[in-house]
Structure 1
Amino acid sequence: MLQNLSFFNRFEKDEGERFEYEESVMGKSTNVMDRWIISFTQSLLSLVHSKMAVYHLYAVTPRLVKFVDNLTNWYVRFNRKRLKGDTGKEDCLRALETLYSVLFCMVRVMAPFTPFITETIYQNLRRVLKPGTLGKGDINSVHYLMVPQPVQRLICPDIEAYVSTLQSVVELGRYVRDKVNIPLKYPLPEIVVIHKDKQILGDVLRLENYIKEELNVKTVTTSTDKEKYGVVLTADMNFRVLGARLKGDVKRVQQVVAELGDEEIQEMLNSGSIVILGHTIDACDLNVKYSFSGEKATELASKYEAHSDDTVLILLDTTPSQEMLDEGLAREVVNRVQRLRKKANLVPTDEVTVWYHIQETDTELTRIIDTYSEYIETSTKTPCKPMAEKDNSSIIIEDIAKIKGVSLKLVITQGFSSMMSPAVSVGEPTGTKNISCPWVNIILDGTPRYGTNSCSATLLLENPVGCPVINSYQQILEEAHGIFGFPLEHSKLHVERKPVDSKTPVSSLAGRTVVVTYAVNKIPVATSAVKPYSRFVNIEGSGKKGCVVLENPCGDGIMSLQAFTSVVQKIFSLSSTPTIFTDSEKKKLLHLNGNSLVKLHGLTVYT
C-alpha cells in the first residue's frame, strides 16, 4: 500500500500543480473500476462496524487482507496507466482521487490492527489533504481519528458481483497458462467464458478489455451452451487417499465413480461431497478433470484447455498462432543479446552496438529480426544492425548462438553506430541531431523503488530552450527522487566521484552525468556518458525548440502517443491537441501507429 503513494508525487511533478484531496469528490468518478473499489471499501466499512460491535475480530481480519489484495493486485494493476497520467489529466485525477479516498478510509480502519504502517501512510496522505477536511480536532496522528461511517449510496452490489466474475475469469486464465507453460507475454487467440446466466456473461463483456489486456488474448467469447463445445466433467479415484479407507469396496466404488455423469460431478463439487455405496467421499478425494466429447472431441481437445471454479467455466485457446511463435523467436534473440551483454560485464548505460549475422540463408529467423527490430532494440536498449553494415568500432565481445537450430552470430562493439531505426509510417522527420535542450544524466547508486529496476534517467534543465525547468541542486534531487524513490535525508549529488556543491549553478552540469547517493559516507560509482541515457524527440514550433523525453527512468517503457501529444501541448502552451509534422515546411503530417514513437528517437519533428 505504501508504494501507491508515489502516484501523487508523480502527478505534482508531471503536471506542475499540487494534488489536493477533499472528501466531497469521493464517488464522483464513473469509471467502473473506481466505482468497484469504492463500493468494496464501503461494504467493508459496514462489515467492520457490525462485527466489531460484537467483538468478532476474527471476521474482520480476513476481509482486511482481501482489501489489500483487491487494491494492490487488482485496482492498481488494472489502472496503472490512468494513475501515471497516460490517459489524460482529468482521467488521472479521477483515478488519484479514488485511490486517495480508499487509502484514507482504510488507514483509519486498519490503524488498530497495524498501527505503525498505517501511521506512516497517514502522514504521507495528510500532506495533500485539504485543510479543514477532518474538522477542528487533533489530526496529528491517525490514532486520533475516528473510524469513518459507511456511505450506503456508494455501495453497488452489482458492480462488486461482476468485477468478482472478472477476477474469476482472469485467475482461471492465469492457471491454464501456467498449466500449459505459456507465459502471459505470449498472445493467445481466444478465451471462451461459459455460464448459464446471460446476465453474468453480459457483465463479462462489459469488462472484456480488462480480460484481453490481463490475459493477453485477442478475443473474448461468451456462451451459455456448454454442450456446443463438448465439455464434460469426468472423475476417477485417488487410490492413495481412499484405498486404505474403502478396503474391500474399492473396486465397486471405483466403478461407480467412473460412471458419474457431468451433472452429478458438478453437484458434488458444489456440495463438497458425495455418498457412494454408503461411503461419504469428499470432492478433494476424487480427481476431477475436463474432457471433450462428441464428433469434434479430438479437434476441441487439441485447441482448448478448460478450467472452472464455482462461478464460471473458461476455455483458453492455446493453439500456437504464427504471431505467438514469431514473438517467441524475437524474445529468444533478445535473450541471447542480454546474455552476451552480461557476459561482457556491460551495464544498461554502456553505449554499444550489436551486429548480427545469420549463417543459414532463407530462414524464419531473418524475417523475425527484420519484423521485430524495433522490439529487439527497445528491449535491449541497443542498436541492432546487420553485420554487413558493421563499421570499424572496437569489438568488445562476440559469440555464436543457436536458436531453433539456426546459427546467429552476435558481435558487440563500443559506441552507438547510429541512432535506432528512424522509420515512421508516413514521412521522414528531420535526420538525427543532438538533443535540443540542456540536459543532465542521472545515475542512482543504490536500489530504485516505485517498481522500477532501472538506475539511470535523463533530466531536462530547460524546456523549451531558454525556459528553465530545473533551477537548483535541490530540485535535481527532488526530480530524481520522484523517479527512483530513494530517501532524501542523506542524498547527495556527485560528478566524477566528487561531491557537487549545493550552490553550484545547474547550468554548469549540462551534458554531464550526475550520480545520486543516499547512504551516509557512500563513495559513488565512477561513470559518465556523452549522450542522454533516455530516448528523446526534438520538437520545433512557434519559434521555439523543445524536447520530449520518451522514457524515465531509462528502459521503463516508452510513453503512450496520448502522453506524447499532451507533453508537446504543455511545452508550447497550446490550447488544443497539437498537429505534428515531419518537415519544417509543415507539409508532411506525421502519422504514428502502434509503438512507432520509439522510431522517433533522436529525430526532430515540428508543430
Structure 2
Amino acid sequence: MAMAPFTPFFTETLFRNLRKASNGLEESIHYCSFPSASGQRDERIEQSVTRMMIIIDLARNIRERNNKPLKTPLREMIVVHPDAGFLEDITVKLKEYVLEELNVKAILPCNDTLKYTSLRAEPDYSILGVRLGKAMGSVAKEVKAIKQADILAFESSGEATFSGHCLKFNEIKVLREFQRPANITKEEMDAAGDGDVLVILDLRADESLYEAGIAREVINRVQKLRKKAGLEPTDFVEVFYESLDEDKIALENIVKSQDQSIRKTLGSPLLHHTMISKDAVIFCREEVHGVSGFSFAITITKPTLMFLLEDIVKLFSGNNKFAEALCTYLLSRDHSKLRSEFQAGKGKITIECLENQPVVDVELGKHLYLCTGDYHLSRTV
C-alpha cells in the first residue's frame, strides 16, 4: 500500500493477483485504507535513536566547520555526558551505526563533564523576568557568578536559592563550553554541543588513517567501474591496479598495508597489473587521475585458471599432450560451476571425460589455482 501512490499500476497488478488467492479484499488497492498501528511503542528505543541522531549531527557540524569530508577517516570521537545510560546508547548499543555513519575509528565515553568543559550558568530571562520583576537584576548577577561545583550541585538537586528566591532547574540554563587539553590547537581537536551533550573530534592527521582513506577511494573507483561494466555484486572477478604516477611505490605500499580491508570490501585482493595473465579476458579498464593526489588505472578481468604444468604432466607420466588437453578442457569450463565442483569435492575433482586419456584426480593447490589471486597468495605465504 505504501508503494501504491508511486507505482499505481504495478501495485494494482500485484493486488489483483493476491485477490485470486484471498477472499474479502477490496476491488482495488486504491480503495484500501492504511492499516492502523498495533502494539506498543518502545519509547526507550526511540530515545536511543534520537540521542544517536543528535551525536551524528553535532559531529557532522564539526567536520564541516573544519573542512573534513566524511570520506576522510578520523582517529576518535569523545562523547561527554554525565548520564551513564546516554553514554551506553552511543558507545555500546548503537556504536557500530555511529562509527559507520561518521567514519571514525573509535568512540570514547566520558562522564566527567569538567574534563573537557567549563560550566557557567545563565538565568532564563523569558521565565524569570515575569516572576521576579525588579529582583531580576540581583538574581541574574548571583546566577552568573555561581561556581562550577555549585552548578553541579544545582544539577543534582534541581533547585537553588538566589537573593531569597528559589529557582528551579528549568529556570536556569547550564552552558557547557569546550576546553581543549593543553598544547592542543583548534585544528587538532574541535567540539560541538547542544547544551546537554558535548561531542569532541580528534582531527589530527594519522598515517594509517590517511592510507585507509586512499584505499577507500580506490575501492570506490573499483565499485563504480564494476557497475559501469554491468557486473552483478555476486559476479566473481579479479581486479588489478597500475600506478600512473612517477612515484609508483607510494600507491603500492598503501595497497599492501590496506590489503585486509580491501579484500574484505571487494571480496578479492587488489592485484598488481604485472600479475595479469596473458590468457585473461578483460572486462574493462579505466584510468583515474587526481584522486587524493594519486593517478592509477583499474582493470577488471574474468578469473583466470593458473596451472602448475609440471605437476599436471606428472599426472600423465610425462605426456605433455595429455596435460595440454586437460588444461584446454578446464579452460573451456564455466568458472563458477568448476568452482562449485571443487568446493563439493573438498578441493579435488575427477576428470574422466577426456577421450583416450586416463582418469585423473585434479587438486587445488597441487595442480592448479582457480584465480590469479589464489596463486600469488600461495607464493607469498
For residue 164 of structure 1, report the CA deviation from its aligned partner. 1.1
Is residue 220 of structure 2 the alignment partner of residue 318 of structure 1? no
Structure 1: which amino acid aligns with 2:205?
A: P
For residue 315 of structure 1, report the CA deviation from its aligned partner. 1.2
Contact 1:292 1:298 in 2 (8 A): no
In 2, Cα distance between the equivalents of 1:208 and 1:366? 33
For residue 137 of structure 1, report the CA deviation from its aligned partner. 3.9
Structure 1 residue matching 2:107: 3-state secondary structure: strand
Is residue 24 of structure 2 the alignment partner of residue 221 of structure 1? no
In 2, Cα distance between the equivalents of 1:419 and 1:308? 55
What pairs with 1:10-89 in structure 2 (closer than 5 Å)? none
Residue of structure 2 in register with 1:203 after alignment: 89
Contact 2:287 2:298 in 1 (8 A): no
In 2, Cα distance between the equivalents of 1:123 and 1:328? 46
1:202-252 Cα distance to aligned partner (Å, 9 max, x none): 322322122122222222222222321246799xxxxxxxxxxxxxxxxxx
Residue of structure 2 in register with 1:116 after alignment: 5
Residue of structure 2 in register with 1:30 after alignment: none
In structure 2, stretches of 5+ residues that fail to align are 122-140, 149-174, 232-236, 307-326, 350-361
Residue of structure 1 in register with 2:37 after alignment: 150
For residue 325 of structure 1, report the CA deviation from its aligned partner. 0.9
For residue 185 of structure 1, report the CA deviation from its aligned partner. 3.2
Contact 2:303 2:372 in 1 (8 A): no
1:492-524 Cα distance to aligned partner (Å, 9 max, x none): xxxxxxxxxxxxxxxxxxxxxxxxxxxxxxxxx
Structure 1 residue matching 2:343: 3-state secondary structure: strand
How many residue pairs get aligned? The number is 277
1:116-135 Cα distance to aligned partner (Å, 9 max, x none): 33856854774679955xxx
Contact 1:357 1:387 in 2 (8 A): no
Structure 1 residue matching 2:106: 3-state secondary structure: strand
Structure 2: which amino acid aligns with 1:200?
A: F
Residue of structure 1 in register with 2:77 after alignment: 191
Contact 1:391 1:417 in 2 (8 A): no
For residue 349 of structure 1, report the CA deviation from its aligned partner. 6.4
Percent identity over paired residues? 23
For residue 336 of structure 1, report the CA deviation from its aligned partner. 9.3
In 2, Cα distance between the equivalents of 1:261 and 1:125? 67
In 1, Cα distance between the equivalents of 2:44 and 2:286? 60
Residue of structure 1 in register with 2:61 after alignment: 175
Distance verdict in 2 for CA 1:155–1:318, change over 3 Å: same
Residue of structure 1 in register with 2:229 after alignment: 348
What pairs with 1:486-525 in structure 2 (closer than 5 Å)? none
In 2, Cα distance between the equivalents of 1:116 and 1:325? 46
Structure 1 residue matching 2:97: 3-state secondary structure: helix
Distance verdict in 2 for CA 1:326–1:166, change over 3 Å: same
Distance verdict in 2 for CA 1:213–1:412, change over 3 Å: closer
In 2, Cα distance between the equivalents of 1:354 and 1:337? 10
What pairs with 1:533-544 in structure 2 (closer than 5 Å)? 539-541=342-344
In 2, Cα distance between the equivalents of 1:219 and 1:371? 20
Contact 1:292 1:301 in 2 (8 A): no
TM-score (norm 1): 0.34
Contact 1:353 1:384 in 2 (8 A): yes
Structure 1 residue matching 2:69: 3-state secondary structure: coil
Residue of structure 1 in register with 2:322 after alignment: none
In 2, Cα distance between the equivalents of 1:195 and 1:130? 57
For residue 165 of structure 1, report the CA deviation from its aligned partner. 0.9
Structure 2 residue matching 1:306: 3-state secondary structure: strand
Structure 1 residue matching 2:5: 3-state secondary structure: helix
Contact 2:269 2:373 in 1 (8 A): no
Distance verdict in 2 for CA 1:130–1:190, change over 3 Å: farther
Residue of structure 2 in register with 1:371 after alignment: 257
Structure 2: which amino acid aligns with 1:315?
A: I
In 1, Cα distance between the equivalents of 2:20 and 2:94? 34
Structure 2 residue matching 1:299: 3-state secondary structure: coil
Distance verdict in 2 for CA 1:181–1:141, change over 3 Å: farther
Structure 2: which amino acid aligns with 1:117?
A: F
Distance verdict in 2 for CA 1:232–1:537, change over 3 Å: farther
In 1, Cα distance between the equivalents of 2:347 and 2:273? 38
Structure 1: which amino acid aligns with 2:256?
A: D
In structure 1, stretches of 5+ residues that fail to align are 1-103, 108-113, 235-255, 264-287, 342-346, 422-430, 440-463, 466-535, 547-582, 588-596
For residue 157 of structure 1, report the CA deviation from its aligned partner. 1.3
Contact 1:230 1:297 in 2 (8 A): no
Residue of structure 2 in register with 1:299 after alignment: 184
Distance verdict in 2 for CA 1:417–1:599, change over 3 Å: closer
1:88-143 Cα distance to aligned partner (Å, 9 max, x none): xxxxxxxxxxxxxxxx5xx4xxxxxx9833856854774679955xxx54423344
Contact 2:58 2:192 in 1 (8 A): yes
Contact 1:190 1:221 in 2 (8 A): yes
Structure 2 residue matching 1:200: 3-state secondary structure: helix
Structure 1: which amino acid aligns with 2:208?
A: E
Contact 2:77 2:106 in 1 (8 A): yes
For residue 385 of structure 1, report the CA deviation from its aligned partner. 2.8
Structure 2: which amino acid aligns with 1:186?
A: T
Task: Please identify, of 165-174 and 330-339, the stretch whose mean Cα deviation from structure 2 is larger.
Answer: 330-339
Structure 2 residue matching 1:199: 3-state secondary structure: helix
TM-score (norm 2): 0.50
What pairs with 1:245-260 in structure 2 (closer than 5 Å)? none
In 1, Cα distance between the equivalents of 2:87 and 2:346? 55
In 1, Cα distance between the equivalents of 2:223 and 2:21? 51
Contact 1:232 1:291 in 2 (8 A): no
Contact 2:80 2:111 in 1 (8 A): yes
In 1, Cα distance between the equivalents of 2:258 and 2:304? 17
